[in-house]
């Protein structure tokens, strides 16, 4: 779940020679376009970056469609891809398909709103390819990179129940329901950055490994002025380090060769699941010096329910070490975020009679640095306490 989005791609299913399902006076490609245009206008009015894969009745091959998705806002987890469809097959009600890499939060937000708008709900589900169960069945989920990509089926045009009249009469309500579901999702987190005295956009950008422009775009800021207490959305935390921007003609192989690394390393560092690249893509080549020590350590992908504390505990490190290794300056985590897990330092368990001074001299360190390392505000120790040495 992200408290912001980089952009939303609205994809009207089918088009041109591919009419999609047809029946009972409904042509799928026309309804998907109407619904998509409605959604596009709503997001545009709200100032949320939005792009459509087609705005007219044209044919798009799966590759063309996917390329439009990838070139819209880039291959990022905080890009939402909404593919609109009308179902056929005789059922009744709405369903949402979400990618294997995502969870069902966005889908269920939308289904809830569709339900409020009068449509009955079937389910939110993932569909695996039968050839390779690690892949999504539908190309709009399978080939859309790291984006959060869902397909909404608003109802069945061959339903024997109430879908046909609902689609004809309520399509606009349903499009609005999808917009509301997406807005709920985008705004669902209150993990916003609160501007403090002395903050500037530039300082905040540096601190969070982003750019002034990205923060401004995300928050619809027209000037660089900030007010104390103002709440800002921040882009998903990126690992600090050396990046390469993909140019025309680049391949994973050529980039790996030029940077004396393996394709596997490149893919692992950037969480790539395929060999596809797109021009303008930002690839991490080397995490910054702050992280060099921890390169030997593992990486961990943040899961639902994780906290910095639970992750640190799991790996026998301190929250501070974890934050330092990842340049995290607050306690914000996003699901799917990649964390570098530094190699654990020595831990000393306090025994009866121990003093900070003794422990420090035994370990060739000073009381002061022990206190700093362990965030101690006084000299009191408790038996069994864990100290990072
Ligand atoms: Zn369809």
Q: At 146, which CATH number? A: 3.40.630.40
pLDDT at position 290 is 43
pLDDT at position 288 is 63
Quick check: is 248 in a domain?
yes
- Say if residues 145 and 270 touch (Cβ distance below 8 Å): no
- How far apart (Å, rounded) are the C-alpha atoms in residues 386 and 137? 49
Domain count for the chain, please give it: 4
156 in the same domain as 27: yes
Tell me the CA–centroid distance for residue 167 and ligand 1, in Å: 14
pLDDT at position 235 is 67
pLDDT at position 213 is 81
- How far apart (Å, rounded) are the C-alpha atoms in residues 379 and 276? 56
pLDDT at position 380 is 85
All residues with CB under 5 Å from ion ligand 1: 13, 20, 85
Of 24, 80, 33, the residue nearest 58 (C-alpha): 33
pLDDT at position 285 is 86
Tell me the CA–centroid distance for residue 5 and ligand 1, in Å: 25
pLDDT at position 136 is 93
- Strand pairing category for 7-12 and 79-87: parallel
142 in the same domain as 26: yes
Quick check: is 54 in a domain?
yes
231 in the same domain as 214: yes
pLDDT at position 2 is 35
Quick check: is 277 in a domain?
yes
- How far apart (Å, rounded) are the C-alpha atoms in residues 350 and 346? 13
pLDDT at position 292 is 35
16 in the same domain as 141: yes
Of 241, 247, 67, 56, the residue nearest 144 (C-alpha): 67
194 in the same domain as 182: no
Output the domain CATH number for residue 202: 3.10.350.10
260 in the same domain as 226: no
pLDDT at position 295 is 34
Which residues in the chain show pLDDT less than 50? 1-3, 190, 289-297
Tell me the CA–centroid distance for residue 89 and ligand 1, in Å: 11
Quick check: is 380 in a domain?
yes
pLDDT at position 190 is 42
Tell me the CA–centroid distance for residue 6 and ligand 1, in Å: 26
Q: Which residues are paired to 87 by β-bridges?
A: 156
What are 68-79's pLDDT values in tens digits? 999 999 888 889
165 in the same domain as 276: no
- Say if residues 101 and 146 touch (Cβ distance below 8 Å): yes
- How far apart (Å, rounded) are the C-alpha atoms in residues 209 and 201? 12
252 in the same domain as 163: no
- How far apart (Å, rounded) are the C-alpha atoms in residues 118 and 163? 10
Q: Rg (Cα) of the chain, in Å, rounded? A: 25
| Structural domain span for residue 151 | 7-186
Tell me the CA–centroid distance for residue 3 and ligand 1, in Å: 30
pLDDT at position 169 is 97
């Amino acid at each position: 779940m992200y408290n912001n989005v980089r952009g939303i791609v609205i994809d009207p299913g089918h088009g041109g020679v591919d009419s999609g399902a047809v029946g009972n006076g409904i042509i799928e490609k026309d309804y998907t376009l109407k619904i998509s245009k409605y959604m596009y206008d709503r997001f545009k009015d709200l100032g949320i970056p939005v792009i459509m894969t087609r705005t007219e009745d044209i044919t798009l091959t799966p590759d063309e469609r996917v390329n439009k998705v990838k070139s819209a806002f880039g291959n990022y987890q905080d890009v939402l891809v909404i593919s609109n469809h009308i179902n056929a097959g005789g059922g009744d009600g709405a369903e949402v398909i979400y990618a294997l890499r995502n969870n069902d939060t966005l889908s269920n937000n939308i289904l809830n709103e569709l339900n409020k708008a009068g449509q009955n709900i079937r389910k939110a589900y993932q569909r695996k390819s039968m050839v390779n169960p690690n892949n999504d069945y539908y190309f709009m989920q399978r080939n859309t990179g790291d984006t959060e990509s869902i397909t909404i089926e608003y109802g069945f045009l061959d339903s024997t129940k109430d879908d046909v009249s609902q689609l004809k009469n309520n399509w606009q309500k349903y499009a609005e329901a999808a917009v509301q579901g997406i807005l709920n999702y985008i705004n669902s987190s209150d993990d916003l950055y609160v501007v403090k005295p002395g903050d500037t956009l530039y300082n905040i950008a540096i601190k969070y490994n982003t750019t002034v422009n990205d923060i401004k775009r995300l928050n619809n800021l027209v000037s660089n002025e900030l007010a104390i207490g103002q709440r800002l959305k921040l882009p998903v935390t990126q690992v600090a380090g050396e990046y390469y921007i993909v140019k025309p003609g680049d391949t994973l192989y050529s980039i790996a060769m030029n940077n004396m690394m393996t394709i596997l390393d490149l893919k692992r560092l950037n969480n790539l699941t395929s060999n596809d690249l797109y021009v303008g893509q930002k690839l991490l080549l080397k995490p910054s010096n702050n992280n060099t020590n921890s390169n030997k350590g593992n990486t961990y992908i943040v899961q639902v329910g994780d906290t910095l504390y639970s992750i640190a505990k799991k790996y026998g490190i301190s929250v501070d070490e974890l934050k330092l290794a990842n340049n995290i300056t607050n306690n914000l985590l996003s699901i799917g975020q990649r964390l570098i897990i530094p190699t654990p330092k020595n831990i000393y368990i306090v025994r009866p009679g121990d003093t900070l001074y003794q422990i420090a001299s035994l370990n060739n360190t000073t009381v002061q640095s022990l206190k700093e390392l362990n965030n101690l505000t006084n000299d009191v120790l408790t038996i069994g306490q864990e100290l990072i040495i």
